[in-house]
Structure 1
């Protein structure tokens, strides 16, 4: 599905770029040229240079994202200008400043693009705390769970940045930390991975740290300078419990970790939990929120996931749900006797922008 979205995005970008070049050519800097082809040629060069600059400094994915949003805001501002013209019977695509005319559609689009994308950058690169309060009839003391997912080390912070966010999470005094996959990314580097694992090893938590792999942790298309085995070794060295279709019982709590849905064959949830006593409070870590139907009828009390990044961008926020790829994009839902939580992630994959969502860590209080 995501490959299809990528292809559609490329096609939209190309078609939109043609529209954008025509719109940009109406700025005064280009209309000074007498011939239309000169206006279009210079506008094309400016758009190409701007795109190349963003690609060089922020990567191709971010450059395409910026391009799409700028095109969108040019379209919207053009629509607004047309509506104003129709209502007032005027031609307001340009407004007089006394000495010259200002290209209203263009400057409005540029201003909105800067404000909107700056806000989206801020929402991605900063991390908020999200709290959920849950109830259970099972015999457990008040349980405070910290949840993170999708750190994709190297995207919005390095190993030191991850360690800094862990310090803030530890100050909330959780009993355990759950990591719901995609700890590293295709472009993560070994030094950041090692530093992040070391930071996990310094946490002083009553029950410890529990980890499941996501689709990026073991499988990479890049030239990463460490292997999946290196990652596993560092996690284990720092006392992180890795759960791959495995369960671990502490006091009256059972923590079950599932293998990733996309990358590996895995046990059915009922098979995974078949030997767990019903009086245990059962927490399931499942990187992708794709098995709600089965998990809701199982013995699970709480299922936590990541993967979706909260929808990532406003335009694709609910694509996963509409296409049936994900059962939920973000947030809390209770089905039967099971609580489900999907986090938007503490960071991001490749993109430096989040719209319609924000980066977060989650605190879950169960009593």
Structure 2
């Protein structure tokens, strides 16, 4: 955990490979501790309810220790396999809005890329390949494209990789809380350089056929409401909302989204 803290505090002043290693080691231990806590809480629950003699099984027992390590290894391995095999979820939606000029619309929607010290150029290249295979009309990023610093993105040339995304109407994004952690001004400047249109409490009319509205992250306590964003829009057109943290979803429903 100390390596994670140091990566956060002084990482931008260290060579990129050093900070990347510290960050990955620190985050790995962080997840290990989380799962250990969950396992110990489960064991304590079993002990309290008396379902199994946990005390005799765990204390001074190589069998108990081995079982705990085995369970932890199994969970972490399964989680890593799931992470490597990104889930592709297909949603076919029919909307009661006029789409004569557009017809059908193929959207690739992604979020929480967390590009930075932990996830870098090589992995992002594989994601771009997956995105382009879909041949999307538009790509939408619902926040947290950046992890905690723009420095590794510039040093790895990530901005140029964003420009390799092929989408008829381009790439649009809304800010997430991690864009604020990395510094909102720096994050917005990087995304602009990368050719990503950031919708921060703003709306884009695409092909005169549909709207994409992007809310600022709720980190900004003074962000616009959904009503403020959509009040003056043509409600006969399709309206898509990007909002990183799914709070107050009823507001979106009330405003024709």
Smaller-chain TM-score bracket? 0.7 to 0.9
Q: Does 1:231 align with 2:187?
A: yes
Q: Provide the residue aligned with 1:68 in structure 2.
A: 37
Q: Deviations over 1:129-161 (max 9, x none)?
A: 111111112232111111111111236521331
Shift of the 286–267 alpha-carbon distance from structure 1 to 2, 3 Å rule, reads same
Match in the other structure for 1:210:
172
2:63 and 2:169 map into 1 onto residues whose CA distance is 59
Within a 5 Å distance, the mapping from 1:319-330 to structure 2 comes to none
Deviations 1:41-70 (A, max 9, x none): xxxxxxxxxxxxx99933453342143145
Residue 90 of structure 2 aligns to a residue in which SS?
A: strand
Q: Which structure shows the bigger proportion of residues in strand conformation?
A: 1
Higher helix fraction: Structure 1 or Structure 2? 2
Residues 283 and 108 of structure 1, relative CA distance in 2, 3 Å threshold:
same
Q: Which has the larger radius of gyration?
A: 1
Task: Structure 2: state its 5+ residue gaps.
Answer: 1-21
Q: Does the 8 Å CA contact 1:147/1:177 hold for their aligned counterparts?
A: yes
Counterpart residue number, 2:97: 138
Aligned to 2:142: 180
Count of residues in correspondence between the two structures:
228
Matches of 2:111 and 2:24 in 1, distance apart?
A: 28
> Separation in 1 of the partners of 2:81 and 2:213?
34
Are 2:195 and 1:195 aligned? no
Q: Per-residue deviation at 1:218?
A: 2.5
CA RMSD, Structure 1 to Structure 2 (Å) = 3.1
User: Which of 146, 153, 161 is the matching residue for 2:123?
Assistant: 161
Residue matched to 1:38: none
Residue 122 (structure 1) aligned with residue 57 (structure 2): no
5+ residue gaps, structure 1, are: 1-53, 86-91, 95-101, 221-226, 301-367
Deviations 1:281-334 (A, max 9, x none): 00011111112121111022xxxxxxxxxxxxxxxxxxxxxxxxxxxxxxxxxx
**Aligned with 2:241 (options 281, 284, 289):** 284
Q: CA separation in 2, counterparts of 1:115 and 1:76?
A: 21
User: Kindly tell me: are residues 156 and 121 of structure 1, through their superposed partners in 2, closer, same or farther at Cα, counting changes over 3 Å?
Assistant: farther
**Is contact 2:150–2:186 with CA below 8 Å preserved after alignment?**
no
1:77 shift after superposition: 8.1
Relative CO higher for 1 or 2, CA cutoff 8 Å, sep ≥ 6?
1
Shift of the 183–84 alpha-carbon distance from structure 1 to 2, 3 Å rule, reads closer
Q: What corresponds to 2:203 in structure 1?
A: 247
8 Å Cα contact 2:131/2:165 also seen in 1: no
Distance 1:72 1:119, change over 3 A: farther
1:77–1:109 CA contact under 8 A, matched in 2: no
Q: What is the CA distance between 1:84 and its match in structure 2?
A: 6.6
Q: Residues 75 and 113 of structure 1: is their aligned pair in 2 closer, same or farther, counting only changes over 3 Å?
A: farther
